[in-house]
């Protein structure tokens, strides 16, 4: 790339300009792995098992295939043009400036709300050891600690996320091995009742009916939120050409092992009727096996998972606010970087909004997790739809010869993207059908109205910003 090209990209306001490329290959890999293992699996799966029984395994597998389609579509776009805040940039380039603006702000909302969910979950986990400590106090303490970590440097964020993910991965593999040992050798208190037949022995594989199983898809999709985080790391990865494809291509085995594999083993060891909402199925499984210390260890692991996801949320919200500010769609003050090259002000403002989760834990501690997960899922579905639609439109441009082909093309071209689009619209329909989850669509309607008003104000004050498309002449890889 020539020096003049660098100048042009800078002038165009490349969103990643000024960031430290401090995320190495091992960190990007573990961020991607950690993104696929979160509170949705560790805590949310308990309620979904109670609703769907063993068929939840099939729902995770089905959703996992769709997530892989989404990530391959994103991968093709990332290797066409790797930028921080990628989803907003691709929406801006292929759908128009309003969609870039809407997607950027909605992804920011998704992570703020997800941060609330993770803080809520972390408070629930600490409650396991310290039942007398109010949940809102625990949530507030964790919020402050993670805020400090994100202000220091991207390297510290990457390193902390690496070890958070390492703990989750090691623990999940350990749980699978112990579960297989119980099934094979029959040791422990669960040895006499553990059997593969537990998957169908209690009212069948679909004990509540296929309809109830499908209704869990909204919760299942929440469990997969954050897999797209590798797209946000693109502007700070040392070698995106190599690290991003590797992170995306390892997604299928991660889903097969950590979601489908872990749930299958747990539901073989413990019959599905023993699980309930608000209790981690992993903690429950070890309690049934009769290893109290292990249950405490698992509780620590799931606490780590919650803090990991909240840590990622702070990272991504700060970057997305800076991307919006660079595009003139948020106050210019958010473009500033601290001495450590982090978007400190954007992170600070995001943390203030995450603090609403602390308030929810004070006001409605029992319902806080359900409220915020449904809103996060709706915002996540929008983000995924924008990735898929941008990919379909990009493929059309490539076929027409107007844009260069990516070095990491999605298999089947845009066919898999269309399948994923239909699936996400189906899940949105399920959310609308569910009286409890439906509230998130009302919240999203209010959010859309607020963004629409913001766009009208922006257009009246700075019309050239509302006409800007993505800078497709920025640096391309491949």
For 398, other C-beta atoms within 10 Å of its C-beta total: 18
> Lowest-confidence range among 22-26, 86-90, 323-327, 439-443?
22-26
Residue 300 has pLDDT above 60, yes or no: yes
Asked if residues 324 and 104 have their Cβ atoms less than 8 Å apart, the reply is: yes
478: confidence class by pLDDT, cuts 50, 70, 90: very low
Q: Helix (H, G, I), strand (E, B), or coil: what is residue 23?
A: strand
What is the separation of C-alpha 63 from the centre of its chain, rounded to a whole number of angstroms? 14
For residue range 361-390, what is the model confidence (pLDDT) as tens digits?
Answer: 677 666 666 677 788 888 999 999 999 999
Confidence label for 84 from pLDDT (cuts 50, 70 and 90): low
Q: Convert the pLDDT of each residue in 131-143 to its tens digit.
A: 888 888 888 899 8
Backbone angles phi, psi at 250, to 5 degrees: -85, 0
> What is the Cα–Cα distance from 462 to 149, expressed in whole angstroms?
36
The alpha-carbon radius of gyration of the chain (Å, integer) is 22
pTM listed for this prediction: 0.84
407: tokens are 């070095």
Architecture of the CATH domain 19-467: Up-down Bundle (1.20)
| Residues 392-407: tens digit of each pLDDT | 999 999 999 999 999 9
Q: How far apart are CA 209 and CA 230, in angstroms?
A: 36
Enter the tokens of residue 138.
């625990």
Q: What is d(CA 398, CA 344) in angstroms, rounded to the nearest whole number? A: 38
Biggest CA–CA distance in the chain, Å, is 72
Q: For 35-44, 122-131, 166-175, which range has the lowest pLDDT when averaged over its residues?
A: 35-44
Residue 411 near residue 391, CB atoms below 8 Å: no
| Cα gap 218→374, rounded to integer Å | 8
Neighbour tally for 274: CB within 10 Å: 15
429, with CB counted inside 10 A (0-12, 13-18, 19+), is exposed
Q: How confident is the model at residue 475 (pLDDT cuts 50, 70, 90)?
A: very low
Q: What is the pLDDT of residue 7?
A: 33
- What average pLDDT does this structure show over 322-349? 85
The two tokens of residue 85 are 């805040």
- Distance from C-alpha of 176 to C-alpha of 257, rounded to nearest angstrom: 9
């Amino acid at each position: 790339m020539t020096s003049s090209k660098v100048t042009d990209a800078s002038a165009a306001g490349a969103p990643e300009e000024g960031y430290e490329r401090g995320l190495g290959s091992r960190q990007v890999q573990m961020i991607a792995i950690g993104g696929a293992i979160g509170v949705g699996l560790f805590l949310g799966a308990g309620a979904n098992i109670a609703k769907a029984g063993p068929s939840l395994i099939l729902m995770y597998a089905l959703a996992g295939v769709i997530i892989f389609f989404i990530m391959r579509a994103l991968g093709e776009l990332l290797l066409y043009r790797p930028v921080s805040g990628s989803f907003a940039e691709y929406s801006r380039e292929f759908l128009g400036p309003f969609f870039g603006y809407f997607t950027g702000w909605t992804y920011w909302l998704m992570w703020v709300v997800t941060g609330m969910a993770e803080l809520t979950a972390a408070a629930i986990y600490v409650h396991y050891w310290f039942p007398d400590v109010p949940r809102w106090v625990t949530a507030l303490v964790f919020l402050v600690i993670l805020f400090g970590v994100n202000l220091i440097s991207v390297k510290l964020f990457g390193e902390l996320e690496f070890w958070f993910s390492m703990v989750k991965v090691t623990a999940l593999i350990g749980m699978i091995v112990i579960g297989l040992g119980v099934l094979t050798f029959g040791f422990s208190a669960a040895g006499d009742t553990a059997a593969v037949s537990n998957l169908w022995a209690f009212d069948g594989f679909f004990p509540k009916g296929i309809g109830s199983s499908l209704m869990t898809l909204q919760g299942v999709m929440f469990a997969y939120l954050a897999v797209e985080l590798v797209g946000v790391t693109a502007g700070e990865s040392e070698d995106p050409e190599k690290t991003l494809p590797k992170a995306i291509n390892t997604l299928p085995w991660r889903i097969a092992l950590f979601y489908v594999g872990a749930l299958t083993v747990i539901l073989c060891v413990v019959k599905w009727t023993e699980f309930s909402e608000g209790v981690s199925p992993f903690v429950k499984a070890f309690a049934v096996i009769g290893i109290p210390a292990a249950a405490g260890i698992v509780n620590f692991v799931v606490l780590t998972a919650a803090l990991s996801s909240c840590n990622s949320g702070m990272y991504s919200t700060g970057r997305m606010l800076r991307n919006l500010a660079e595009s003139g769609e948020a106050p210019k003050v958010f473009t500033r970087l601290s001495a450590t090259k982090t978007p400190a002000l954007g992170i600070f403002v995001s943390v203030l909004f995450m603090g609403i989760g602390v308030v929810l834990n004070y006001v409605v501690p029992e319902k806080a997790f359900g409220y915020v997960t449904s809103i996060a899922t709706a915002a996540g579905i929008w983000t995924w739809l924008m990735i898929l639609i941008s990919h379909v439109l990009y493929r059309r441009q490539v076929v027409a010869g107007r844009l260069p082909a990516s070095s990491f093309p999605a298999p089947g071209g845009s066919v898999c993207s269309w399948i994923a689009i239909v699936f996400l619209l189906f899940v949105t329909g399920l959310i609308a059908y569910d009286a409890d989850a439906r509230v998130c669509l009302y919240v999203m309607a209010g959010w859309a109205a607020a963004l629409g008003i913001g766009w009208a104000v922006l257009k009246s004050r700075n019309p050239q910003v509302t006409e800007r498309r993505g800078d497709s002449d920025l640096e391309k890889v491949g």
